[in-house]
C-alpha cells in the first residue's frame, strides 16, 4: 500500500510541476517527483539506484533553482487555491488505476537470477546519461542567457 501512496504523490507532484506558473514552485514540485522515485527505488531494494537518483536530482534541482530564480520573470497574478486544488484532484484521478487495478503476471518459463536492483541499474544506463545531458543543457543555456544579459547591460 505504501508504493501506491508514493505513486499517487508522484503523479500529483508531476501535475503540479507542469501546472504551476512560478518557476521556483514548479522546480520544487519536480524535485518532489525525483524524491518519490528515489523512495520507490529504495523500497524495492535498489538502494544504490535510489542514492544515485537522489544525487542526480539534487544536482538538477540546484541548476534549475538558480536558473528559475535568475532568469524567470515573476508572475503578477497569484494562482487561486481553487485551481491548484483542481490540479491535485486531477492528479489523484489519474493515479486511481494504479491504486485499484492490479495486473496479474504469469510466471515466465525461464528463470533469471537477476534481482530488481541489478536489472534496474543495468537498464537505466541510458536514462542516467540523458539526465546528465539535460542538466548540462540547462546549465549551458542559463550561462548563455546570463552572459547575454551581462553584455546587454554594458
pLDDT digits (tens, 9 = 90+) for 98-113: 667 665 555 555 556 6
Q: What are phi and psi of 106, to 5 degrees?
A: -90, 145
Q: Which residue shows C-alpha cell 520573470?
A: 73
Torsion of CA 10, 12, 13, 19, to 10 degrees: 140
Q: What is the torsional sign of CA 121, 124, 129, 130?
A: negative
Residue 72 near residue 19 (C-beta atoms within 8 A): no
| pLDDT, the chain, mean | 75
Q: Kindly tell me if the per-residue pLDDT of 74 is higher than 70.
A: no
Structural domain count, the chain: 1
Please choose, from the candidates 77, 79, 102, 76, the residue with its C-alpha nearest in 3D space to the C-alpha of residue 26.
79
Identify the band that residue 96 occupies on the pLDDT scale cut at 50, 70 and 90.
confident
Cα separation, 69 vs 22, whole angstroms? 10
pTM: 0.63
Q: Which residue shows C-alpha cell 508514493?
A: 6
Q: pLDDT value at position 106?
A: 53
Residue 117: which domain range?
A: 2-103+111-153
Amino acid at each position: 500500500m505504501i508504493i501506491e501512496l508514493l505513486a499517487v504523490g508522484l503523479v500529483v507532484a508531476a501535475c503540479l510541476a507542469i501546472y504551476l506558473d512560478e518557476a521556483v514552485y514548479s522546480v520544487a514540485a519536480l524535485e518532489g517527483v525525483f524524491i518519490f522515485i528515489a523512495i520507490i527505488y529504495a523500497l524495492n531494494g535498489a538502494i544504490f539506484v535510489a542514492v544515485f537518483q537522489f544525487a542526480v536530482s539534487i544536482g538538477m534541482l540546484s541548476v534549475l533553482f538558480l536558473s528559475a530564480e535568475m532568469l524567470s520573470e515573476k508572475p503578477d497574478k497569484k494562482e487561486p487555491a481553487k485551481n491548484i486544488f483542481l490540479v491535485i484532484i486531477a492528479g489523484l484521478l489519474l493515479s486511481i488505476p494504479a491504486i485499484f487495478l492490479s495486473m496479474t503476471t504469469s510466471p515466465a518459463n525461464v528463470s533469471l537470477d537477476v534481482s530488481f536492483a541489478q536489472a534496474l541499474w543495468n537498464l537505466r544506463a541510458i536514462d542516467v546519461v540523458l539526465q546528465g545531458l539535460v542538466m548540462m543543457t540547462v546549465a549551458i543555456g542559463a550561462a548563455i542567457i546570463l552572459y547575454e544579459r551581462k553584455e546587454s547591460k554594458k
